[in-house]
Amino acid sequence: MVDSDAGATGFHAGELAVQRRAGVRGAAERLAGMLDAPDLAGGLARFLAERTFAGVTARDGAGRLWISPLTGSPGFLEVRGNTDLRVHAAPAAGDPLHDVVPAQPVGMLAIEFARRRRVRINGTLVDAGSGGLTVHVDQAYGNCPQYIQQRLLEPVTPAAGPADAPDSEVRWGHLLDPADVALIRRADTFLFGTSHPDRGADASHRGGLPGFVRVCDDRTLWWPDYPGNNMFNSLGNLAVDPAAALLFVDFTTGDTVHLSGTARLDWTASGVGDDGGTGRRVVFTVHAVAAGPPLPLRAGHVVASPFNPPLHDHI
């Protein structure tokens, strides 16, 4: 049953339910205007034009949800008019979304790690091909800088080979192997994709100290949900649709691990975990794994976010 005030606030019933359970309904209401129809002109267009990295959440031809990286030189994210975004890039050969089909909802996240800035863009993929993607944007808004580790991404020259050839470095499976587990356990950042049957797809960022994502076994992992902007876009989506996707990147080597599966929000006693006092954690179950293709960007020196909560090894 849809909450009676969902339409008035711009939040859907799943978001409202999590906001109420967390006791932040009033704080979230003050941010509802961010969900209004977007205007991509001005500062937002300039921010996007300067980016070299973004993530996109969408479904593959079988209907499975993934989140994949998009990279390019500054200018590869081009605003056209007030509501259209042209992406002069597409998911790489071998990527789960390489052959993404149009006429579906997508969520995008553009990040500037060096200055800890990020913008969420949600809309409809109206065109897709080797030349890039075109998104008709329904929502566009910035997020806070919390938990973004500061790093400077630099391009690397990809190995020579046909642009559309299947990438031999991609390993597919249904379980995490030891290399996947090692990458996840040392990660300080990942991208998180979710979806809602009516509101579309969403892409978001999660960060913390290395080790904040715990791998329980070859099908299950979890992470603490830290205090944020109280909108609960991702967790609200999970309250309605458990489909979820994760992207882990080792920015020193370019190695990537894409995960598609389901996730749920678990409420625990406040102060029990290393969650910044929220009493929340997210448990993810792996359904499919794609390790690779490598990211054509690298970063060396990292400055950890000052907001990262400490970790407790016994958890």
Structure tokens at 255: 């190695």
C-alpha to C-alpha distance for 53 and 67, rounded to whole angstroms = 13
190, part of any domain: yes
Q: Which stretches in the chain have pLDDT values below 70? A: 1-9, 158-168, 270-272, 314-315
138, part of any domain: yes
Are 291 and 256 in contact, with CB atoms under 8 Å apart? yes
What pTM does this model have? 0.93
240, part of any domain: yes
281, part of any domain: yes
Are 251 and 299 in contact, with CB atoms under 8 Å apart? yes
53, part of any domain: yes
207, part of any domain: yes
16 forms beta bridges with: none
- pLDDT the model gives residue 5: 41
- pLDDT the model gives residue 3: 41
315, part of any domain: no
49, part of any domain: yes
Domain count of the fold of the chain: 1
The CATH number that applies at residue 46 is 2.30.110.10
- The whole domain housing 145 covers 9-156+170-298
C-alpha to C-alpha distance for 243 and 291, rounded to whole angstroms = 19
- pLDDT the model gives residue 258: 98
